Structure 1
Amino acid sequence: MTTRFSALLLLALLSAKCGPAEGKCPTGDVLPCKCGSRFLQDHHDGEVQLDCSSANTSEEISSASRASWPSSQLWQFRLTDNKLVEELPEGVMGDLSFQSIWVSDTALKRIHPSAILPSGDRLVNLSVENSYNPLSEFPSTVIKSLRKLEEFYCSGCNLGPTLSNGLLRFRSKTLKLVVLWENGISRLGPKDISGIRTDTVVYLTHNKIAMLDEGIFRPTLEIMSQGKGVLHLEGNPVQCGRNLEWLALAPKLLRKVKGACEDGTSLACSVLDLRPCSCEEHSDGMTVDCSSARTSEEVSSAFDKIWPSARLSHFILLNNSEIQELPEGVFGAHSFQNIYLSKTAVKAIHPSAILSSRGQLVNLTVENSRLGRFPFHVLSMFPRLEGLWLRNNSLTSVPAIHSESLEFLYLPNNGIEKIKENGWATPNLREIDLGHNPLLEFPSVVIKSLKKLEKFYCPECHLGPTLSSGLLEFQSNSLRLVSLWKNGISRLEPKAITGTILRPFIRP
């Protein structure tokens, strides 16, 4: 009884050690190929991998496929970093089928359709990439049989300069990704790539495509415009100009194209004639720069164009001595995450100029300008606004500010004499700078209301010579810095400054 129990225990331990994959590998030798489950996982499910990266010939791969496999349905075939095998010939896989075929960094010149066909109803991922060799025979006929294909990689497959008619006819309804970069492709025909789905992302990056012919690209973009699909053309010498007018008139298609012109201008910006304004496209969105505009009308005209999206990232007006106002409706329906004005002649901003951005504005800066009027009263309508930076302007008063989201308020170097205290509500304000303003009355009630204040700056605020009792009654447990330098302070009354200050900095 004891002997039988020990045998059963040993068998259980061996089964646990071997794991499920070893139980599905052949009992015979498949060398130099390997069968196992200790491999780099990707997002596909499966247990058994046949890795023939160490094979010297296609015959050795074929020999491994003819072994006595417990099941012909495997997870992945892998051939990587191999410079000896030049062909996957007819019947090389025998009856084996895979969910994933991964061929990378090889010397393959030919892949016979029968190497892939047994996997036709199972294959999810087909990767034939980074070979950088003359792949003289591509199994294009088999592509249309892969009904479950999700990802297709064929970078560095030497498919260019011209794709043959019907080279890639996808029939999978679940196609998510097509990668064809670095293939020397300079021209595509109308039916060279077909079967793209609404959510398919296509990478034609780092090829030699110069012309975006409407007849070729429009059908694909029309499909993508109905879903999450995107066409990537980065790294191509695209010629921008009149040949892209069709794209300029179709903003829903334009937003589906990622790339730049040969001169570095983004495709989206190149089709928009914004002069004297300009734009640049970045990973976080599009930046519009109107620093060269002479009038607010010229700024407004830039936003009369047909844009691919009304949601932009940055508006910039820098070193401009002409524009004195951002008037009503200057941005139309366009919105920004960041608005930045510096060294300008702007004296006033109409509420509607920023209200179009109320859903996404995070930072608003007007500095080193002549701003005398600002629509503080609309700030409560900006749920994402974190920073308001109005340094070195001509403001003389500040009304009670209402903002649930505001964290940074910088108003130094203005002519502010009065700050209205009653009704102030900025519960999340962390930093406030009132420095270098001739305050006639210090806003003690405002300071007391800031429960999350971390830094308070008020240098040269005319607070001296005596700080009266209760002037600075801090209620924040996060206060780290108080700067009151150059205020002519010679005397502090009892409890003039109260609260826990982790790093006080006071200079008379």
Structure 2
Amino acid sequence: MRGFLLLAWLPFLACPVTDGLEMCPPSDAIAPCACVIYSTEDIDIDCMNAETAEDIYRAFNDVTWDFKEMRSLIGELPEGVFADVSFQEFILYDNIHLQSIHSSALLPSIERLEVLHAGGSHRLHLFPFEILPQMTALKALYFGWTNFPEVPILRSNSLETLNFWNSPITSLGKEAWSMPNLKSFILGKNRLRELPQGLVTSMEKLVTFQCNENHLGPHLQADYLEFKSPDLATVNLDGNDISTLAPGAITGLGANTTLSLYRNSIEFLEEESFRPIVEVMVSGTGTLNVRGNPLACGCEILWLVTNEPFRPKVLGTCKDDYIQLQDLDPQPFLDLCTVG
């Protein structure tokens, strides 16, 4: 009988059990792991006391029960560690010893695994990203606070959440990524100096893109981020040392998209670069956040202050007098910045 990491028991196990121990092997057979029974529909396998991969291997080979969740503090998940046991979730977060996950440790779960959470595993730096296309049920990968120096091109038709917060990544695979069902993409607080061309073009269901606290500036070239999702709600590029955007650097924003460029180095809101962004937002709830930038508020923003629908859409303050952009009086700009 195969072990499954399920959110609910299979139908033939849903009835009450008279002796809870029947749902778990003898405790000494799986030590240092432990089988923890919460109810007839909820069992966890706790391997936090495991010190080596061999401890986990012994506990999971010849397993004859179904279970929900695995968490362990071990140095690696090597080849064959779980035998033929398959999981629906791997919970490995805050694992201070985990350094690598071998592809064969995931293969028994390749058609079942939905969530892999290794956030906070500060030493984790090796993962078999190449098998993601085969993991057809996988919906969420949490790798925040890990130690990946680089991430290759990722392709997955099932992923909905991908989190690499503070990993700290220095580079991403250079060709276009393919994740058509991705909704949340978190790359914040890494060491990225550039993003690959076409990174987000395949993400047709993307809702949140967070790439703040990197080093993408000072200049974003044309077609830097080409979004294709009608559901896009948030694009966060805060704290990236950005000073200029080429016309068309960020495209595909919707009327309800918030673009945050907070705490960058933008001095001039050039019409060619920013007007197309703001025009889209006028018909919805979207905003452009340029707070924390040293905005000059000269004639380059004539296009903004003289268009009443635009002003409330752009959130920011002039560097010299600290006046909010939306509170600027258009008349002085008309007097000083127009000819004839």
TM-score (norm 1): 0.46
Tell me the CA shift for residue 504 of structure 1: 2.2
Tell me the CA shift for residue 231 of structure 1: 9.2
Q: Which amino acid aligns with 2:69?
A: H
Tell me the CA shift for residue 506 of structure 1: 2.4
C-alpha change, 1:475 and 1:269, in structure 2 (3 Å) is same
Tell me the CA shift for residue 391 of structure 1: 0.8
Identical-residue share of aligned pairs (%): 35
Separation (CA, whole Å) in 2 of partners of 1:284 and 1:395: 36
C-alpha change, 1:296 and 1:231, in structure 2 (3 Å) is closer
CA contact (8 A) 2:176 2:197 kept: no
Greater Cα offset, 476-485 or 412-421 = 412-421
Separation (CA, whole Å) in 1 of partners of 2:130 and 2:235: 28
Separation (CA, whole Å) in 1 of partners of 2:233 and 2:60: 44
Separation (CA, whole Å) in 2 of partners of 1:283 and 1:478: 40
- What's 2:304 paired with? none
TM-score (norm 2): 0.68
Q: Alignment length, in residue pairs?
A: 247
- What's 1:371 paired with? 124
Q: Which amino acid aligns with 1:422?
A: E
Relative contact order higher in (CA < 8 Å, ≥ 6 apart): 2
Separation (CA, whole Å) in 2 of partners of 1:231 and 1:351: 32
Separation (CA, whole Å) in 1 of partners of 2:187 and 2:19: 44
Computed over aligned residues only, the root mean square deviation of the Cα atoms, in angstroms, reads 2.1
Q: Give the SS at the match of 2:71.
A: strand
Greater Cα offset, 277-286 or 419-428 = 277-286
Among 482, 487, 490, the alignment partner of 2:235 is 482
C-alpha change, 1:348 and 1:230, in structure 2 (3 Å) is closer
Q: Which amino acid aligns with 2:231?
A: S
Among 78, 84, 87, the alignment partner of 1:336 is 87
Among 245, 260, 283, the alignment partner of 1:505 is 260
Residue 250 (structure 2) pairs with residue 494 (structure 1): no
Separation (CA, whole Å) in 2 of partners of 1:336 and 1:380: 17
Among 134, 137, 142, the alignment partner of 1:384 is 137
Separation (CA, whole Å) in 2 of partners of 1:467 and 1:283: 55
- What's 2:158 paired with? 405
Separation (CA, whole Å) in 1 of partners of 2:120 and 2:83: 26
Q: Which amino acid aligns with 1:487?
A: N
Tell me the CA shift for residue 462 of structure 1: 0.6
- What's 1:274 paired with? 30
- What's 2:101 paired with? 349
Query: Once the two structures are superposed, what CA deviation does each residue of 1:295-337 show, in whole Å capped at 9, x if it has no partner?
Result: 111111101244134xx321112xx3xx211111111100111
Q: Which amino acid aligns with 1:427?
A: P
Residue 40 (structure 2) pairs with residue 287 (structure 1): no
Separation (CA, whole Å) in 1 of partners of 2:105 and 2:22: 27
- What's 1:448 paired with? 201
C-alpha change, 1:483 and 1:260, in structure 2 (3 Å) is farther
Tell me the CA shift for residue 270 of structure 1: 5.5
- What's 1:300 paired with? 57
Separation (CA, whole Å) in 2 of partners of 1:383 and 1:434: 23
Q: Which amino acid aligns with 1:297?
A: E
- What's 2:226 paired with? 473
Q: Give the SS at the match of 2:104.
A: helix
Query: Once the two structures are superposed, what CA deviation does each residue of 1:448-470 show, in whole Å capped at 9, x if it has no partner?
Result: 22111110000112112222222
Q: Give the SS at the match of 1:445.
A: coil
CA contact (8 A) 1:284 1:313 kept: no
Separation (CA, whole Å) in 2 of partners of 1:331 and 1:229: 24
Q: Which amino acid aligns with 2:84?
A: A
Among 354, 359, 362, the alignment partner of 2:111 is 359
Separation (CA, whole Å) in 2 of partners of 1:364 and 1:276: 22
C-alpha change, 1:294 and 1:351, in structure 2 (3 Å) is same
Among 418, 435, 458, the alignment partner of 2:171 is 418
Q: Give the SS at the match of 1:267.
A: helix
Q: Give the SS at the match of 1:343.
A: coil
Tell me the CA shift for residue 386 of structure 1: 0.2
- What's 2:69 paired with? 314
Q: Give the SS at the match of 1:287.
A: strand
C-alpha change, 1:410 and 1:230, in structure 2 (3 Å) is closer
C-alpha change, 1:304 and 1:230, in structure 2 (3 Å) is closer
Unaligned runs of 5+ in 1: 1-227, 235-257
Q: Which amino acid aligns with 2:190?
A: N
C-alpha change, 1:484 and 1:440, in structure 2 (3 Å) is closer
C-alpha change, 1:503 and 1:441, in structure 2 (3 Å) is closer
C-alpha change, 1:404 and 1:231, in structure 2 (3 Å) is closer
CA contact (8 A) 2:193 2:217 kept: no
Runs of 4+, deviation exceeding 6 Å: 228-231
Q: How does 1:230-241 map to 2 (within 5 A)?
A: 232=15, 234=16
Q: Give the SS at the match of 1:449.
A: coil
CA contact (8 A) 2:177 2:200 kept: no
CA contact (8 A) 2:120 2:146 kept: yes
Tell me the CA shift for residue 283 of structure 1: 5.6
Query: Once the two structures are superposed, what CA deviation does each residue of 1:224-248 show, in whole Å capped at 9, x if it has no partner?
Result: xxxx76695x5xxxxxxxxxxxxxx
Query: Once the two structures are superposed, what CA deviation does each residue of 1:191-239 show, in whole Å capped at 9, x if it has no partner?
Result: xxxxxxxxxxxxxxxxxxxxxxxxxxxxxxxxxxxxx76695x5xxxxx
Separation (CA, whole Å) in 1 of partners of 2:131 and 2:149: 18
- What's 1:435 paired with? 188
Separation (CA, whole Å) in 2 of partners of 1:335 and 1:458: 34
Q: Give the SS at the match of 1:444.
A: coil
